[in-house]
Amino acid sequence: KAGVTQTPRYLIKTRGQQVTLSCSPISGHRSVSWYQQTPGQGLQFLFEYFSETQRNKGNFPGRFSGRQFSNSRSEMNVSTLELGDSALYLCASSWEQVRGSETQYFGPGTRLLVL
């Protein structure tokens, strides 16, 4: 079974631009979560989607948004990029994520550099 895939793997943008990142979960998984990883803040929860609905959102500004499609693929969008948005963005999928014991499977991440 194929793992979680993320595209693109690397991205360079300039301040003020917007960016869209894509995540394809493991087949059959309906929950997709996004995390931001930076050296200073570590791994932080962005949001989680299930059946095309955002169920929960972390403590990030409204410039960060996402969506999920009927095939469970998810996209994350960041508008008006700032230098501090430079990070590794990780996507994770699981069956439902309604039981805390479920394993989240992570993709390789998209490394975003904002200049």
Residue type, 12: I
- Shortest Cβ distance from residue 80 to another protein (Å)? 25
- Shortest Cβ distance from residue 101 to another protein (Å)? 4
- Shortest Cβ distance from residue 16 to another protein (Å)? 28
CA-based nearest residue to 6, from 73, 58, 63, 52: 73
Residue 98 contacts residue 46 (beta carbons within 8 Å) = no
- How would DSSP label each residue in 68-82? E-TTS-EEEEE-S--
Which positions touch another protein (CB under 8 A)? 4, 6, 31, 33, 35, 42-43, 45, 48, 50, 55-56, 58, 90, 92, 96-109, 111
Instruction: Decide whether 20 or 108 has the Cβ nearer to another protein.
Output: 108
